[in-house]
């Protein structure tokens, strides 16, 4: 990682590549929510997780990895229809919708009606968009020096999921995601700057959200 905030990351896919569905004790954990990220393209595991979620009535917040997105929209549509909240960055949304990243409105139109609650599309320094039940919200990035972008997407997604679970309010979840991502990009490293507790109402108001 350079002092400009740009980075090159060497990755060893451990848990996400080697997780065994048979080792998950679904009867014991019975989750109300599942926050799902990359499964290294393991479609059998993906199918199992969604099946168990449906059986248990668990709601899914999904941030699919590149290997899952490579399966294509047609194959992923049954999962997207069961998904509650779909989290993507702009490039991922474009890849899934099979259109250029500049066509944001078309991406939202194509993907926005699939998840039952909302689709959220982050757009780096340009902010983020949330579409739910026919309405699109936009939040510009908070002002501040961008030191490092590593982990910003994960920080956004985890805080958004936590906000949705804690408050049941998607706008508050949206604001929490923006604040957590801001904390990461204004510190060097993927974990420095992550929020230690859920933001206060005053902190949440720092994020300006408007309907488009």
Assigned domain for 117 exists: yes
Domain residues for the domain of 94 are 24-211
Average pLDDT over the chain, rounded to an integer: 87
- Would residue 10 count as lying in a domain? no
CATH for 134? 3.40.1190.20
Q: Which pLDDT band, with edges at 50, 70 and 90, does 194 fall under? A: confident
Query: pLDDT digits over 86-143, tens only?
Result: 999 999 999 999 999 999 999 999 999 999 999 999 998 899 999 999 999 999 988 8
Let me know if residue 128 belongs to a domain.
yes
- Answer yes or no: is 1 within a domain: no
The predicted-structure confidence for 149-183, as pLDDT tens digits, reads as follows: 777 888 999 999 999 999 999 999 999 999 999 88
DSSP state of 84: S
| Closest to 124 measured CA to CA, from 182, 175, 170 | 182
Helix residue ranges, H only, 57-151:
66-69, 73-82, 90-97, 104-111
Domain total in the chain: 1
Q: Report the pLDDT value the prediction gives residue 189, as an integer from 0 to 100.
A: 63
pTM of the full structure:
0.86
Check pLDDT > 80 for residue 69: yes
Residue 185 lies in a domain: yes
Q: In the structure, what pLDDT confidence band is assigned to residue 24 with cuts at 50, 70 and 90?
A: confident
Residue 175 lies in a domain: yes
């Amino acid at each position: 990682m350079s002092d400009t905030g740009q980075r090159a990351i060497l990755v060893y896919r451990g848990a996400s590549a080697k997780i065994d569905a048979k080792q998950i004790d679904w009867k014991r954990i019975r989750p109300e929510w599942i926050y799902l990220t990359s499964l290294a393209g393991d479609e059998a595991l993906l199918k199992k997780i969604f099946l168990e979620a449906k059986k248990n009535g668990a709601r899914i917040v999904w941030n699919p990895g590149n290997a899952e997105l490579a399966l294509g929209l047609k194959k992923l549509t049954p999962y997207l229809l069961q998904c509650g909240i779909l989290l993507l960055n702009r490039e991922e949304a474009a890849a899934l919708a099979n259109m250029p990243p500049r066509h944001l409105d078309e991406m939202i139109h194509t993907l926005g009606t699939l998840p039952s609650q909302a689709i959220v599309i982050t757009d780096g320094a340009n902010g983020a968009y949330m579409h739910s039940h026919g309405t699109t919200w936009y939040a510009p990035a908070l002002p501040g020096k961008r030191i490092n972008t590593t982990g910003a997407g994960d920080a956004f997604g985890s805080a958004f999921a936590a906000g949705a679970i804690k408050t049941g309010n998607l706008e508050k979840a949206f604001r929490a995601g923006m604040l957590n991502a801001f904390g990461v990009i204004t510190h060097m490293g993927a974990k420095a700057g992550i929020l230690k507790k859920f933001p206060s109402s005053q902190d949440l108001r720092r994020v300006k959200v408007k309907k488009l």
